[in-house]
Structure 1
């Protein structure tokens, strides 16, 4: 299996490529990571019926094309199944989608909350289909629920963009370190503090 296909299908082959094996985690950071691993599902899988949704929200994963292109492909398939479903796609996904969509764009960094809030403010319905990277999906769902939306279906992509400008999305280890500390600092701050490669 090539390195490229290993990144696209990480659950079939667990060969991730890291630029260095060392992470600078102190005892408190290790405890947070341990607690996160013990209490959180690492990733989610597809569920629900697309036809039950009033609209869909596509949450990007990183800035690079790799995973966002796969999410755009899912959005295209969703449109084939449910052509009247409104698709709200974060700009990194919308760039690659060939279907009618509403682009959620901003010149500044957008959080998961920012994206969900923009879609929620433009939409009348409450039932949503979430399109997300599998390890990011839990937070996307929780964010939608915090805004009063009911997530009736989920479609995911499993993979990590190894060369993304955002270090915390490059591999599962970086993602777990970032998510276990996300209430304390931004992804950029966590990446710098723990020297995420």
Structure 2
């Protein structure tokens, strides 16, 4: 339908903002309308709901120089590729006054009752094929940004295309995201276990 590929979108962002660190939410708010997309900062419950509906979510966090060193050292060891990052490993709440943060953006891809799984941007050779796991969003004080479109954002030709081919596209996406269909979530209160895509309870402990 004429939509740009990843490389084109990436280059458009670099052309405007360069390769130096910048505010992720500001970039998305400015770049999304160009592609008839929208974005909102959301909380953890809405982020997990989006994942259960098979929609990856942007996640942002910041670490100090020392914390980044610990983070990189942890995941540079092949034995730690499946480790779940916790406050016991990296405690951001013990920072000394006057600290400065270096921000980073990743993509929340899946979750279960034990961890959140994120896709990094450092290549497939990094740790677990480019993915890492965190016990919960509080470990890295993560914020989440949902990027989405609505039917009002579509051209008439695009609406017609999805009306005709929507089922085929949906099946393709389901096959690509087969992992989330099998992921389980255990309610911290009732201890009941259900599939992530079927879970309806609260996500707060």
Pair in the same fold by TM > 0.5 = no
Indicate the structure (1 or 2) with the bigger Cα radius of gyration.
Answer: 2
TM-score, normalized by length of structure 2? 0.29
More strand by share: 2
